[in-house]
Amino acid sequence: MAVTQLDLTREYRLFRREINRAIERVLESGRFVLGEEVGALEKEVASYCGATWGIGVSSGTDALHLALRALDIGPGDEVIIPSFTFVATAEAVLYCGATPRFVDIDPTTFNLNPERVEEAITPKTRAIVAVHLFGLPAPMDPLLELARHYSLLVIEDAAQAFGASYNEKRVGGIGDAGCFSFFPTKNLNAYGDGGMVLTSHSDVADRLRTLRAHGSSERYIHRELGFNSRLDEIQAAILRVKLTHIDQLNEKRRSVAAAYSRALKEVVQVPVEPAGSYHVYHQYTIRTPKRGRLMEWLKKRGIGCQVYYPVPLHLQGPFKYFPRTCLEETEKASQEVLSLPIHPFLTPREVDEVIEGVLSFFKAL
């Protein structure tokens, strides 16, 4: 590829010395599981996002799953989620024995539409999972108002949105629990799997610590059936290095996104940034009815691009039979979205190549 969707080697080359020192620090300590690095990272991420506690776990999927369990979501409960999201959002609900209720999105933001959320609430509804898709915060104020009115919990799926903010509050620290993924492709990324749950409820934090360690808060004493889901020390040390640079890296993403939007807004639907929202562009996702032909055009020119997500969850095997509202906007979006290369290390030449690739397609029509 002339311009790749993502290039993690450039990030490593830039921060090589800091990262290598952090890894060596862990190796020399002889402590590899739930040591000082994890504890420090938990405090640093919680402070950054405005939450009281952070609990490091082994993946973003586990963050969602254990957060729901710690909030006592289980069989007989319904959880409102979008269908236009990564599968982990729905998996986590099913892992708890609860029922996902799929709700439609806003066609311009791709996030949950609060009007459709209210229509979907039933006496069985216990929680809303607000996904901050592609790095854009979900509409938290109306969702929180619905939660207050109907006595519901709000869990933030902030896997794609580390550093994003809504009305000057960083995502992950707004709802009852906030869940992050540190998968290598994420804005704040490890060199393997990792995740974290944030909460300001002490009882939820305590239960999360128990659930991640085989249901044990005291060695060899198990209060409940738990899981082996612990963020390891090496990943935590790497993440602590990258956390010190995250604002700068997100600003570079925003700069690339701004260049794309200025150049492409007349030919495709470009991402929006509603008032009060700070978008961190985990993905830069455009929308066009000519998606298939444009994608083929770009790939022939060596320009990386990807569809997130080609098949909504409610149309896939494990989820076909669960409750849903009308999902017309979700199904339309899945046929028209396309994500362009976006990362902090794109060069001006590469940005221009992507722009020219898209514009040349529409000129050739």
| pLDDT profile of the chain (365 residues), mean per 10 | 89 97 97 96 98 98 98 98 98 98 98 97 98 98 98 98 98 98 98 98 98 93 95 98 98 98 98 98 98 98 97 94 89 98 97 98 96
Per-state percent for the chain, helix, strand, coil, to nearest 5: 45, 20, 40
Domain-ending residue, one of 243, 259, 293: 243
83 with 310: CB under 8 angstroms? no
Domain-ending residue, one of 208, 243, 278: 243
Q: Domain count of the chain? A: 2
Six-digit token string for 362: 């529409």
Angle between helices 202-212 and 60-70 (to 10 degrees): 120
- Domain extent at residue 191: 8-243
249 with 241: CB under 8 angstroms? no
Residue 201 neighbours by CB under 8 Å, 6+ apart: 176, 177
pTM of the model: 0.97
CATH code assigned at 305: 3.90.1150.10
How much is the pLDDT for 252? 98
Same domain for 76 and 54: yes
Same domain for 254 and 154: no
How much is the pLDDT for 2? 85
Same domain for 297 and 347: yes
How much is the pLDDT for 271? 98
How much is the pLDDT for 325? 80
Cα distances (angstroms) measured from residue 240 to each of 18, 22, 44, 198: 10, 9, 8, 16
Residue 267 lies in a domain: yes
Handedness of CA 173, 177, 183, 186 (dihedral sign): negative
141 vs 335: CA distance, rounded Å:
29
